[in-house]
Amino acid sequence: MIASFIMAFVVGGLICVIGQLLMDVGKLTPAHTLSILVVTGAILSGFGLYEPLIDFAGAGATIPITSFGNSLAHGALAEAEKHGWIGVLTGMFEVTSSGISAAIVFGFIGALLFRSKGNID
């Protein structure tokens, strides 16, 4: 159990380090950085490399945004395997719906509960 925590910390931290380097050295905006990481996750999934990373690092691989690209591609690949051409389009959100639906629902609830404040501390 301790080992899983350490693996999650190290792998998750390293993915964030790649993001920080893209922002600081590559001079990219956060939106560009996150888009690149998502695309990377999808490509790794295509090569079948992301699922082993999840087995290895647990939340260290499922929590970073790369996991989002992986689940999208994973869903599309699984459906494509079952249904061929049609599956490429239909399967995409099968695995990944929870992140987007949670963001929409909590975004809406957040808008109901809070208002933006210009606080600094």
Partner 1 sequence: MDKGVIYFPSKPSILAAGVVVGPLEKRSVFVQNFDLVYDDELADQKTNEQGHQIMIEEAAQIALQKKKLTKDSLDFFIGGDLVNQMTPTNFAAATIASPFIGMYSACATSTSSVIIASLLTELGGSQYALAGAASHHNAIERQFRYPVDYGGQKPATAQWTVTAAGYALIGKHQEGEPCIEAATIGKVADFQQSDPFHMGAAMAPAAFSTIQQHLKGRGQTVQDYDVIMTGDLGKVGLPILKEMLRQAGLTTKQLETVRDGGAEYYGDNPLFLAGASGAGCSASVFFSEILAELKSGRMKRVLLVATGALLSPLSVQQNQSIPTVAHAIEVTMK
Partner 2 sequence: MNPKDYEQLQTQLSPKTPILKNVLKAFLVGGIICTIGQAITFFYMANFDFTERTAGNPTVSTMIFIAMLLTGFGLYKKLGQFGGAGSAVPVTGFGNAVISAAIEHKTEGFVLGVGGNIFKLAGSVIVFGVVSAFLVALIKLILVTIGVTDW
Binding to partner 1 (CB under 8 A): which residues in 14-73?
23, 30
Whose Cβ is closer to partner 1: residue 47's or residue 117's? 117
Whose Cβ is closer to partner 1: residue 24's or residue 81's? 24
Q: How far is CA 107 from CA 39, 55, 95, 100, in A?
A: 24, 30, 21, 10
For partner 2, the binding residues in 26-85 under the rule CB under 8 A are 30-31, 33-35, 37-39, 41-43, 45-46, 54-55, 58-60, 62-69, 72-73, 75-77, 79-81, 84-85
Q: At its nearest, how many Å lie between partner 1 and the CB of residue 12?
A: 17
Measured CA to CA, the distance from residue 41 to residue 34 in angstroms comes to 11
Cβ partners under 8 Å of residue 101, min gap 6: none
Q: How far is CA 89 from CA 45, 74, 80, 85, 118, in A?
A: 16, 12, 8, 8, 42
Q: Is 109 in the site for partner 2 (CB under 8 A)?
A: yes
Q: At what angle do helices 30-46 and 66-83 cross, to 10 degrees?
A: 40
Judged by CB under 8 A, how many residues of this single chain contact partner 1? 8
Judged by CB under 8 A, how many residues of this single chain contact partner 2? 82
Binding residues (CB under 8 A) for partner 1: these are 23, 30, 114, 116-118, 120-121
